[in-house]
């Protein structure tokens, strides 16, 4: 049964529910960073595809470009998984906030569900970080730093 809470109960409920908001801030920052990486991947892929569509690309150069496109596709796949995990994390943390507030301001037994929701959100965040690390390692592995010619 739901009851009308007093002001101190509502205040405590808000305080309890605000703590996960800090994780939401981290998630939104990660989404922005990862979305920026995805935009750069897409821009590079479009540039390579346009060059391949233009005539005059020699065979050996075209093969290198196709290999780079394959690597960009893999990086894009990792970034998309990362964004999906971060979005799911944000949804779970938002659900946790709602459950904590409802549990504090009503007689609904939401503590176990809120715990599972919060821990699931943290797991999604950690998995997103793993995808981000994998994409970053792949991106740096693909770099070909030009070496100065030796005399």
Considering the domain boundaries, does residue 116 fall inside one? Answer: yes
pLDDT at 123: 96
Considering the domain boundaries, does residue 150 fall inside one? Answer: no
Q: What is the pTM of this model?
A: 0.80
The beta-strand segments (E) located in the chain are none
Considering the domain boundaries, does residue 124 fall inside one? Answer: yes
Mean of pLDDT values over 48-61 = 83
Can you state the angle between helices 7-53 and 111-141, rounded to 10 degrees?
A: 30
* Least confident among 33-37, 39-43, 106-110: 106-110
Tell me if 16 sits within 8 A of 104, measured CB to CB: yes
pLDDT in tens, 116-129: 999 999 999 999 99
* Least confident among 26-30, 61-65, 128-132: 61-65
pLDDT at 102: 84
Considering the domain boundaries, does residue 146 fall inside one? Answer: no
Mean of pLDDT values over 11-24 = 74
Considering the domain boundaries, does residue 151 fall inside one? Answer: no
Q: Between these two residues, 143 and 76, which has the higher pLDDT value?
A: 76
SS3 35: helix
pLDDT at 28: 93
Considering the domain boundaries, does residue 147 fall inside one? Answer: no
Q: Print the domain residue range for 121.
A: 7-139
Give how many domains the chain has, as a whole number: 1
Considering the domain boundaries, does residue 144 fall inside one? Answer: no
Considering the domain boundaries, does residue 145 fall inside one? Answer: no
């Amino acid at each position: 049964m739901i009851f009308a809470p007093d002001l101190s109960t509502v205040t405590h409920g808000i305080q309890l529910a605000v703590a996960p908001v800090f994780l939401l801030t981290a998630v939104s920052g990660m989404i922005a960073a990862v979305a920026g990486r995805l935009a750069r991947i897409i821009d590079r892929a479009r540039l390579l595809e346009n060059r391949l569509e233009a005539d005059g690309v020699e065979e050996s150069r075209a093969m290198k470009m196709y290999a780079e496109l394959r690597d960009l596709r893999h990086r894009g796949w990792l970034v998309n998984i990362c964004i999906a995990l971060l979005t799911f994390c944000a949804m779970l943390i938002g659900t946790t906030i709602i459950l904590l507030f409802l549990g504090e301001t009503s007689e609904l037994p939401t503590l176990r569900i809120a715990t599972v929701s919060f821990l699931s959100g943290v797991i999604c965040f950690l998995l997103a970080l793993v995808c981000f690390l994998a994409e970053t390692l792949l991106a740096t592995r693909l770099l070909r730093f030009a070496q100065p010619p030796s005399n």
